[in-house]
Amino acid sequence: MHEALLGRGIDTRIIGRVESDLPSHLKAEASSFLARLPVSLQNRLKRWQIKQRFGPLPINFQPIAHGLSLHKWPTYREADLIHIQFVGATTIGPPLWRALQAETRPVVWTLRDMWPFTGGCHFSGQCERFSVSCGRCPELGGSPDEDITPHDLAFKAAHIGKNITFVAISNSIAERARSSTVLKDQDIRVISNSVMLDRFVPIAKTEARAALGLPNDRIILAAGALNLANPRKGSATLAALLEAYRGDPRVHLAIFGGNLEQLVSPVPENCTQFGLLDDDVKLNRVYAAADLYLMTSLQESFGKVTVEAMASGTPVIAYDGTPAVDMIRNGETGLLVPNGDNAKFLDTVRQACAFPRSALAEMGEHARTDVVERYSLSSAVERHIELYRERLSSRPTQRETVKSPVS
């Protein structure tokens, strides 16, 4: 997105927790080790103190402790517009929250998860307490004397600036934000994530399977996640699928991501593990080789793999109640299943495996067409530029070139 904005003549700068070795044309300013050190130490101390009271803290939970002082950076102070991107407690601490509250310039804040409007969790699962006052947090064991999440939620609600436009990356995350105590009265728009359409493209299945060493005479089901054992990613559904198709001579599974062995032991012989993939060429082949991509997540802010699989010409089976409902035309580009219903998900997969290959291929073609129309990078860039211009139009004076630091 940043590169595309630069290509359109928007003078964007990235500041914060970014790679220190990015090319100079990307205009990125990384926080130094010395700047991050006290932040890291204070956050670790806060987590240790909470651990002493409530036990081990999940990675999904980040209490407010101390963040970077980005509002003191020259690039931040010189900007016409501030765009907050993917952030958490180690970036936005109380001083920066207060600075954003007092900001008179336009601020755009992209919601890539739920942390900005919860008492500390990045995804709330089935918990809806962020819409009231938090407390008894499931991530902290549900203790009745838990006072961390109510404090953090109250702080966020009290320090949300009135000059901020929030951008949700899906209707699903927008609905959650609008129901929250923190953001219920805020300006919330929806601009979906984009997919690199030149990287994720349809490939002939025989070609993709040959390149990956996958059988050409079986139905191939693909699935993946960074952490396959994460319950939010549908680990129970995936484990049930692996057992249901163990040894099935008609089906082969192609799984990428970590911790597969935590779900099923031993891993079925008719399952190829690809591990953690950071190679888009190989990932594109996995998507394209599959007859069906199985999106087992129960909750996502966007669900990028769904769009990537569809862009690769593969229909997707996913749970409703997630952003997949915005992406999939049920029965035409994929299939939707009631959220959390493992048995129904398996039954839907069995039914889809019985479809003629030609029918699945046609669904995949429609999926690619939909993604091209709705999730291109150029479309997302245009919508951001329109939003920037709208927000800047109320300013009495504007520079010809918009400067926008992105943290």
Q: Is residue 149 part of a domain?
A: yes
Range of the structural domain that residue 346 is part of: 205-374
Is there a single domain that holds both residue 138 and residue 274? no
Is there a single domain that holds both residue 140 and residue 177? yes
Is there a single domain that holds both residue 74 and residue 190? yes
Q: Is residue 288 part of a domain?
A: yes
Is there a single domain that holds both residue 166 and residue 210? no
Whole-model pTM over 0.85 = yes
Q: Is residue 298 part of a domain?
A: yes
Distances (CA, A) of 187 to 6, 81, 107, 379, 402: 26, 16, 11, 21, 22
Residue-wise pLDDT tens for the chain (407 aa)? 999 999 999 999 999 998 888 899 999 999 999 999 999 999 999 999 999 999 988 888 999 988 999 999 999 999 999 999 988 888 999 999 999 999 999 999 999 999 999 999 999 988 999 999 999 999 999 999 999 999 999 999 999 988 999 999 999 999 999 999 999 999 999 999 999 999 999 999 999 999 999 999 999 999 999 999 999 999 999 999 999 999 999 999 999 999 999 999 999 999 999 999 989 999 999 999 999 999 999 999 999 999 999 999 999 999 999 999 999 999 999 999 999 999 999 999 999 999 999 999 999 999 999 999 999 999 999 999 999 999 999 765 544 445 666 55
Is there a single domain that holds both residue 109 and residue 248? no
Cβ neighbours of residue 111 closer than 8 Å, sequence gap 6 or more: 117, 166, 167, 168, 169, 173, 174, 177, 188, 301
Is there a single domain that holds both residue 112 and residue 228? no
CATH of the domain at 240: 3.40.50.2000
pLDDT score of 402: 55
Cβ neighbours of residue 137 closer than 8 Å, sequence gap 6 or more: 61, 119, 120, 121, 127, 129, 143, 146, 148, 149
Is there a single domain that holds both residue 180 and residue 227? no
Q: Is residue 19 part of a domain?
A: yes
Is there a single domain that holds both residue 179 and residue 223? no
Is there a single domain that holds both residue 214 and residue 225? yes
CATH of the domain at 136: 3.40.50
Q: Is residue 225 part of a domain?
A: yes
Q: Is residue 315 part of a domain?
A: yes
CA-CA distance, 75 to 81, in Å (whole number)?
11
Work out how many domains the chain is built from and give that number.
2
Is there a single domain that holds both residue 146 and residue 243? no
CA-CA distance, 103 to 84, in Å (whole number)?
13
Is there a single domain that holds both residue 21 and residue 167? yes
Could you tell me the two tokens for 285? 């082949």
Is there a single domain that holds both residue 171 and residue 120? yes
Q: Is residue 199 part of a domain?
A: no
Q: Is residue 295 part of a domain?
A: yes
